[in-house]
Amino acid sequence: MTPAPLSPSYEPERQSRRILGPIFGLACLVATSTGVVVLSILLGAVVAAVIRGSQGGSVLGTLGHLLTSMQSSTPESAGFRAGVVGSLWLLGLVAAFSIPVGIGAAVFLEEYVSAGRIRRIIQLNIANLAGVPSIVYGILGLALFVRAFGYKNLAFGPTLWAGGLTLGLLILPVIVIATQEALRTVPNSLRQAAMALGASRWQVVRDHVLPSALPGILTGVILALSRAIGETAPLLMVGAAGSILRLPKGPSSRYTALPVEIYNYAKEPDPKYQAVAAGGILLLLALLLTMNATAIVIRNRYARSSRG
């Protein structure tokens, strides 16, 4: 049987395809190369600043000194120990608050709420919250957690509680959206098969849906936590200390964070502080890369186990 001829509007334009195809590929290559080159230049400038500040010593030795030293009025003895400890405290509080709330909200919206106007309104607001500037969350945290709208008995003050909850609100929409996308990748046939065998909706979600979507959920969670650990503006709004010489002992302690200390050192007029700030940037990058590597390992392990 002879196939029907193609409509003129669908006939392949070979000449334009031969021209536009390589042009599009070249444009994609230029875009990718631009990002890689700019990132390499920035990273090279930071490493060069650390090398200049090490004064003949090794870069690892300089980073080790910065990691174990407290803030100081002299650049030779300045470090980021208080900021690193404060950032780890914040990371733990943010994870404890945002991960269960975000994943729970996403599971409820995807598995329990039927499609309709209410769900569309909730989804629209979550998407809008994900695009709100971080400084707005800082203002919200200042009013809600630090001052409690004037109710002093309910206010946390400028403590780790306020910083952790503010950053938790900041990344909560990101976790919800990422978890929803991961849940949507689970085929409905898996849910239907489990229900056909007599499983309840909660058993289906707990034993089948969440394990299958876990690699994607973990990826979204780690990316969200990476954003939180690098934020500066919200922490400045909720009272992160610019200079602190004591390590926090609990969530009710005053604190500082690594990005805040980097900001404070970078604005010092003494050029020697620029090397200190550059070292703090490398420490922050090392922390972010460690988190991302951990996420990749966990994701791959769960992906292998889900495939059987």
d(CA 275, CA 262) in angstroms, rounded, equals: 10
Per-residue pLDDT of 207-255, as tens digits, reads 889 888 888 888 889 889 988 988 888 998 998 877 787 888 889 999 9
d(CA 73, CA 138) in angstroms, rounded, equals: 28
Lowest mean pLDDT among 108-112, 170-174, 282-286, 296-300: 296-300
d(CA 243, CA 263) in angstroms, rounded, equals: 11
Q: Would the pLDDT of 101 be above 90? A: yes
Confidence of residue 9 (pLDDT cuts 50, 70, 90): low
What is the predicted pLDDT for the residue at 216?
86
Rounded to the nearest 10°, the torsion over CA 292, 295, 300, 301 is 140
State the average pLDDT over residues 51-65: 79
What is the predicted pLDDT for the residue at 115?
80
State the average pLDDT over residues 54-64: 78
The CA-atom distances, in angstroms, between 244 and each of 133, 222, 266 are 27, 28, 17
0.75 cut: is pTM over it? Answer: yes
The residue written with tokens 């460690």 in the block is: 290
Confidence of residue 305 (pLDDT cuts 50, 70, 90): low
Q: For residue 145, give every residue at least 6 positions away whose Cβ sits within 8 Å of its Cβ, in sequence order, or none.
A: 155, 156, 161, 162, 165, 166, 238
Among candidates 206, 21, 173, which has minimal Cα distance to 107? Answer: 206
Q: Would the pLDDT of 11 be above 60? A: no
Per-residue pLDDT of 138-184, as tens digits, reads 999 999 999 988 888 888 989 999 999 999 999 999 999 999 999 99
Please tell me the number of Cα atoms within 13 Å of 215 on its side-chain side: 14
Instruction: Output the DSSP codes for 96-146.
Output: HHHHHHHHHHHHIIIIISPSSHHHHHHHHHHHHHHTS-HHHHHHHHIIIII
d(CA 302, CA 283) in angstroms, rounded, equals: 29
Long-range CB contact pairs, 4-13, < 8 A, 24+: none
The residue written with tokens 């444009």 in the block is: 27
Q: What is the mean pLDDT of the chain?
A: 86
Q: Would the pLDDT of 3 be above 90? A: no
